Structure 1
Amino acid sequence: MIDSGLEQKELGRRLRALRRNAKLSQSAAARAIEVSPQTIGRLEDGQATQISKLHVAELCNIYQAGDSERAALTAFVQHVRAARHKGGPSAVIAGFVGRVELEQVASTVTVFADTMVPGLLRTVDYHQLVRRMRYPHDSDEDIEYWRQYAGRRWIRLYDRAFQVQVFLLESVLHHLMGDPALMAQQLAHLEQIGRLPNVNVRVIPADAGNHIGLYRGGFTLMEFGPSPAGGWLETPIVYAKGYPKCLYLRDEGDIDQYHDAVTQLDHVAQSPETSMEVMRNIKEKYWARTDPDPGEPVDQ
């Protein structure tokens, strides 16, 4: 069974392509079906909207879609709406699910983490600690969705065609989340993931001086490969972290700024090999702070 979230993303992607081919703006499309430009934007981004099958049919008329494309889009709408009526996760978890689904089809992901270990590289214990603090009211259904999609997310790291580059401020590694044992296990996990041939984990040292990472904030830049139907699966997307809400950026000017930021981070980050050594040293310091095994004698 095809995931309804992926179908919603595909529906949005195809509608965006048709609109651009028709040389219409989001505002013009919105006026034609009497909705707001923001609604068209959310629809094209693959987010949940109140757009009906009739709305999509009218967009197909405006965009002069062919019969086969019209039939495919109608099917997408029916499947997405049917899945929505069956119930699903909260808006918070739906956002997480959407991000994971984008990662599943991305060919390259570049992450900059300025406060915490990024979700893609977290252990379950570290991630649960973060979720309990940020989303204390998660329902049992939300937690189950998170577990399902987090597992799918981490498995993707072992796909050699999936290129991952991670930049971390050194302070992220020193910030104690939970207890020293949890942090030691998290750093051991970072070491293990960093050895994968398709993953680079690089630390930006505390003495790196003035650099863009101190101003830009955490982000994920996702880039996509070619579509079997021609063109690209998706234009590059930046997921910019914030509180209480995060942003998805697609504008070419925004993407260029983040590409520039990645270039600058590359100049100040340590090599993967040196970064491994830094993580190993910090990990050993955490292990040294853990409580001794109660089964072993303690020196008097």
Structure 2
Amino acid sequence: MIGSTVPRRMLGRELRRLRETSGVSVSKACAVIQCSPQTMWRLEGGQGGVKLKTLYVEALCKLYEASDEDTAALLGLIEEAQRPGWWHSYGDCVPEHFDLYLGLEQSARRFTAWQTTFVPGLIQTPAYRRALEWTAFPGMPTSAVEQRVELIMKRQERLEDPTFSAAVLLSESVLGHEIGGPAVMADQIHQLIKVGQRRNVSIGVVPQTVGAHLGLQTYHFVLLEFPPRSSPESKTKWIEPPVVYVEGFTGALYLDQADKVDRYRSALVEIKRRALDEQCTRDLLAHKAKEYAV
């Protein structure tokens, strides 16, 4: 089960494609299902906050003169989009902007991250995550913190899927931030070494001695890439476009415009060129772990 994010986005893109192909205006489409242009924009954009109704989609497909096959495929996407993802059971510990990310992460086939400040959630230890949560929310009840730690551990089950791959590029500065104290950092670095030995995971560290490089300007980000998907109701196949996720202090950016994604891809090429290879990265990690263990 991948949750609502990807099928909702696919449904929105297909409805927009059908509308534009048929030459129907936004105002006319809005009139048919009696909604505002803002609601139509959110529907076609795959945004949350719009209740997906079978009658609406059937009416729009009829207006757009969609084929029976296309209509059946879109109705199938509604059913899939209405199934909750596993993370919805964690309630308030999932911020609204991060709900979208979790749906994308769970359906991605490749995860590529560049991080300059801390270890990405997919490879954090419980103690490391706990220290981050206490720093961000010092007054949070212990039970709520532990629920967030549990969420991170649940996300890491994604690494068990052999069809999923993760590439993590870290600035050496990540290893210098003593989050949770020396013992927590030593365990976290040993975790990096262990996870990096998986066949579907690669970890590379960019030494601080390389000087100026493009990764210092991009800030940290994640590139998510998706497998093609087909509809069981028809022969229709969809390609979910790659998404760049940039998390900020109070929200996040989701970029899927081709030109912007390409710029981040190019940045990853440059960052990886500056990173140590996997063996040299393991050697550096082992050295850092010994420093923290002293």
TM-score by length of 2: 0.81
Cα separation, partners in 2 of 1:8 and 1:157, compared to 1, 3 Å: closer
CA shift, 1:199, in A, is: 0.8
Aligned to 1:13: 10
Distance 1:176 1:35 in 2: 51
Alignment of 1:39-50 (within 5 A): 39-40=39-40, 42-43=42-43, 46-50=46-50
Aligned to 1:110: 112
| Secondary structure at the counterpart of residue 96 of structure 1 | helix
CA shift, 1:191, in A, is: 0.6
Distance 1:139 1:9 in 2: 33
| Secondary structure at the counterpart of residue 234 of structure 1 | coil
5+ unaligned residues in a row in structure 2: which ranges?
A: none
Aligned to 1:178: 180
Cα separation, partners in 2 of 1:88 and 1:50, compared to 1, 3 Å: farther
Distance 1:143 1:199 in 2: 27
* Structure 1 contact 89–142 (Cα < 8 Å) conserved: no
CA shift, 1:132, in A, is: 3.2
Aligned to 2:72: 68
* Structure 1: 4+ residue segments shifted above 6 A: 137-142
String of CA shifts for 1:11-66, please: whole Å, max 9, x gaps: 331231232244369x95477324345x5555456542144526545443444443
String of CA shifts for 1:177-227, please: whole Å, max 9, x gaps: 111101111101011001111111000000111111111011000111121
| Secondary structure at the counterpart of residue 91 of structure 2 | coil
**Is 1:247 aligned to 2:244, yes or no?**
no
* Structure 1 contact 225–232 (Cα < 8 Å) conserved: no
Give the % identical residues: 30
Cα separation, partners in 2 of 1:126 and 1:60, compared to 1, 3 Å: farther
Choose between structure 1 and 2 for higher RCO, CA contacts under 8 A separated by at least 6 residues. Answer: 2
Cα separation, partners in 2 of 1:29 and 1:11, compared to 1, 3 Å: farther
* Structure 1 contact 93–145 (Cα < 8 Å) conserved: no
Aligned to 1:291: none
Aligned to 2:243: 237
* Structure 1 contact 8–76 (Cα < 8 Å) conserved: no
**Is 1:127 aligned to 2:129, yes or no?**
yes
Moved more, 239-248 or 183-192: 239-248
Cα separation, partners in 2 of 1:121 and 1:248, compared to 1, 3 Å: same
Cα separation, partners in 2 of 1:162 and 1:79, compared to 1, 3 Å: closer
- Aligned pair count? 279
The AA in structure 1 aligned to 2:49 is: T
Distance 1:140 1:31 in 2: 52
Cα RMSD for the two superposed structures:
3.3
Distance 2:45 2:228 in 1: 18
5+ unaligned residues in a row in structure 1: which ranges?
A: 289-300
**Is 1:35 aligned to 2:36, yes or no?**
yes
Aligned to 2:103: 101
TM-score by length of 1: 0.79
The AA in structure 1 aligned to 2:72 is: S
CA shift, 1:264, in A, is: 0.6
Moved more, 238-247 or 63-72: 63-72
